[in-house]
Homo-oligomer: A and B are copies of this chain.
Amino acid sequence: MSKSESKSHRKPALFWGWGNADEHLSDEENHLIENMVRLLLPQGAVELSPPQVDEFELPESRLGELPDALAEMVSTTPYDRLLHSYGKSYPDMARMYLREVPNAPDGVAFPRTEEDIAAIYRYAAEQGVAVIPFGGGTSVCGGVEADVGDHYNATLVVDMENFNRVLSVDPVSRRARIQAGIRGPDMEAALKPHGLTLRHYPQSFPFVTLGGMVATRAGGHFATVYTHIEDMVEATRTLTPSGLIETRDLPGSGAGPSADRLICGSEGTLGIITEATLRLQQRPQWRATASVIFQSFLQGAEAVRLIAQSGLFPSNCRLLDEQEVMVNRVANRPCAVLVLGFESADHEVSHWMERALEIAREQGGELKGEVQYNGGHGDQRASEAESWRNAFIRMPYWRNRVTAFGIVADTFETAVTWDRFPEFYRTIKREMEGAIAKISGHPFSFSCRFTHVYPDGPAPYFTFYMVGDTEGNLHNAIDKWKSIKQLSLQLLADHGATATHHHAVGRDHRFGYEQQTSPLYRQALAATKQCLDPDGLLNPGVLIDPVGKEVGIRGVFSGLKSPQSP
């Protein structure tokens, strides 16, 4: 096969934005976006045209003549290189609109076997090539951009799309061994005939890969107990440049520090995850959903705290603040809304729901409408949950066009203990709204919801829309985004919150990550990397730097100083 043809067998994706190339916004969506733009920019704004592959000037691939084994699996087409240049963060898409891809990889490999990956490692070590593992490419924190610094002769992305099979299913223990490159919907389709499901639906679900979720500690469907993918990971199989790390498929263990927990969150810096054994759920038969109105977000937060500490373990416990409610048209007056859900494959859940609602009422909550049951009471979701869910799924698609108008739409998310939360929320809201108003100079929106909740604290998720530029100059918008991002990371650090609850560190959150971790721990991680990846091939600059190859904080934050640099 010639190098000028893509080696991908996936449905063609939109290389510059969210979704597949054949997915489009509906007329209604376009109408809503235009309304939103008018709201933020009554005077109008330049709309940039969607990027085309031939508008990009990519430097020639530095891979040169490849050995046969690699030539078979490596593509250097402009489309493949562009598609694998960025994740899906705001500055990623903005730079696409700018037709600027300073770190396009020199090629994209599509291995079919672990031997193929080993061959890639050998080649990369010999030639001084950085290797960037790539799953769904949905990173929103610079996790896949090949901005690797000056120590490498070239960059090669490894797309895991061919590792796409469910290898075995064990319905007795409710688990399955699955290859890491499988996408969310394909995995669920393969599990469905067994009555099983992972029920892990990040916003990126249609595109996300299992390996990507494991590598980044993705957050999923369940609001409590099983919040992160690592709660579902029973075992992993990871090929590192030094060899294989395979863990035993155990329901629990106390034998030494967990190897799985080293792999979860390694973000492609230690090895490429090729398989994972996952703990699954039976498909729920009973569901209950309710919406509870609170006068204020902090009043609702107190109810959520008590529900999170109750041991009722709701599957959904999403509290939306006043602004989130308005932006997503969940209610037509400013109030906080708690979308509460219980589900079970074993038992009817009304008892659980009733007690949770009792707690909510004791804190001043007011049930909106009725509890929606299925399994006996019909199969409707509460309309608030449904409107919110639709908005959630379509949001990244909307951003494709919103960005063209110079509007910055972005999110950041964290977790913080309950005792700190009220002060944290007030400060974040005050400081961020103040900063956005000042930086943007236009109307904006800044809202918050809880995605997951723990007995010891919530995981708040903030969304903002602001005008970055009205003249089609997205450099300007990116600079504004950077200021906002840096401020948010600093505020999270100052309040003892985490730089990320489930979006991972990548390059964009290293500034915050370095404030919340002991330098000695990062050194220990670097020592681990040195053992597993002695040539420092893998994803250099993400999370930590390879020993002897300082990358520092790069990507869109190039030049930012680490708060704890030695």
Residues of A with Cβ closer than 8 Å to B? 170, 172-175, 216-219, 225, 227-228, 234, 240, 242-259, 261-267, 279, 282, 305-306, 309-313, 344-347, 351, 355, 359, 415-419, 452, 454-459, 496-505, 509, 512-513, 516-518, 520-521, 523-528, 530-532, 543-544
Rounded to whole angstroms, the CA-CA distance of A532 and B527 in the bound complex is 10
The interface residues of chain B lying within 8 Å CB-to-CB of A216 are 254
A225 & B225 in contact (Cβ 8 Å cutoff): yes
A250 & B497 in contact (Cβ 8 Å cutoff): yes
Rounded to whole angstroms, the CA-CA distance of A290 and B93 in the bound complex is 59
A234 & B282 in contact (Cβ 8 Å cutoff): no
The one of B217, B351, B418 that contacts A172, using a Cβ cutoff of 8 Å: B418
The one of B255, B311, B419, B501 that contacts A253, using a Cβ cutoff of 8 Å: B501
19 chain-A/chain-B pairs, Cβ below 8 angstroms:
A172-B417, A174-B309, A217-B253, A225-B225, A228-B252, A242-B523, A252-B457, A254-B500, A254-B504, A256-B525, A257-B265, A257-B266, A258-B265, A259-B521, A310-B347, A311-B344, A311-B345, A526-B531, A527-B527
A255 & B513 in contact (Cβ 8 Å cutoff): yes
- Chain B residue at minimal CB-CB distance from A224: B225
Q: How far is the CB of A351 from chain B (nearest CB, A)?
A: 5
Rounded to whole angstroms, the CA-CA distance of A504 and B255 in the bound complex is 5
The interface residues of chain B lying within 8 Å CB-to-CB of A527 are 527-528, 530-531
Other A-B contacts than A245-B524, A256-B517, 6 sampled, CB-CB below 8 A, are: A243-B520, A244-B520, A252-B457, A252-B501, A312-B347, A347-B355
The interface residues of chain B lying within 8 Å CB-to-CB of A174 are 309, 455-456
The one of B228, B249, B520 that contacts A254, using a Cβ cutoff of 8 Å: B228
Ordered nearest first, which 4 A-B pairs have the shortest CB separation? A251-B457, A261-B261, A251-B454, A527-B531
Q: Which of A267, A457, A503 has the most CB of B within 10 A?
A: A457
A518 & B259 in contact (Cβ 8 Å cutoff): yes
The interface residues of chain B lying within 8 Å CB-to-CB of A502 are 254
The one of B312, B416, B521 that contacts A245, using a Cβ cutoff of 8 Å: B521
Rounded to whole angstroms, the CA-CA distance of A496 and B219 in the bound complex is 29
Q: Which of A227, A518, A532 has the most CB of B within 10 A?
A: A518
- Chain B residue at minimal CB-CB distance from A519: B243
A245 & B496 in contact (Cβ 8 Å cutoff): no
Known: A245-B521, A516-B248, A524-B531. Is A282-B254 also a contact (CB below 8 A)? Answer: no
B173 & A518 in contact (Cβ 8 Å cutoff): no
Rounded to whole angstroms, the CA-CA distance of A325 and B159 in the bound complex is 55
Give this chain's copy count.
2
The one of B244, B252, B509, B518 that contacts A518, using a Cβ cutoff of 8 Å: B244
Q: How far is the CB of A23 from chain B (nearest CB, A)?
A: 28
The interface residues of chain B lying within 8 Å CB-to-CB of A312 are 346-347
The interface residues of chain B lying within 8 Å CB-to-CB of A240 are 520
Q: How far is the CB of A453 from chain B (nearest CB, A)?
A: 8
The interface residues of chain B lying within 8 Å CB-to-CB of A225 are 225
A255 & B516 in contact (Cβ 8 Å cutoff): yes
A251 & B456 in contact (Cβ 8 Å cutoff): yes
Rounded to whole angstroms, the CA-CA distance of A503 and B253 in the bound complex is 9
Rounded to whole angstroms, the CA-CA distance of A456 and B512 in the bound complex is 36
Known: A261-B261, A532-B520. Is A173-B417 also a contact (CB below 8 A)? Answer: yes
B250 & A498 in contact (Cβ 8 Å cutoff): yes
- Chain B residue at minimal CB-CB distance from A252: B415
Q: How far is the CB of A311 from chain B (nearest CB, A)?
A: 5
A415 & B498 in contact (Cβ 8 Å cutoff): no
The one of B173, B452, B457 that contacts A250, using a Cβ cutoff of 8 Å: B457
Rounded to whole angstroms, the CA-CA distance of A263 and B524 in the bound complex is 12
Q: How far is the CB of A173 from chain B (nearest CB, A)?
A: 4
Known: A172-B418, A311-B346, A416-B250. Is A499-B454 also a contact (CB below 8 A)? Answer: no
The interface residues of chain B lying within 8 Å CB-to-CB of A282 are 309
Rounded to whole angstroms, the CA-CA distance of A251 and B419 in the bound complex is 11
B520 & A346 in contact (Cβ 8 Å cutoff): no
Q: How far is the CB of A143 from chain B (nearest CB, A)?
A: 12
Known: A457-B173, A518-B244, A530-B527. Is A346-B254 also a contact (CB below 8 A)? Answer: no
Q: How far is the CB of A407 from chain B (nearest CB, A)?
A: 27
Q: How far is the CB of A525 from chain B (nearest CB, A)?
A: 7
Rounded to whole angstroms, the CA-CA distance of A253 and B417 in the bound complex is 11
The interface residues of chain B lying within 8 Å CB-to-CB of A416 are 250-251
The interface residues of chain B lying within 8 Å CB-to-CB of A496 are 248-250
Q: Which of A250, A267, A497 has the most CB of B within 10 A?
A: A250
The interface residues of chain B lying within 8 Å CB-to-CB of A267 are 256
Rounded to whole angstroms, the CA-CA distance of A450 and B524 in the bound complex is 37
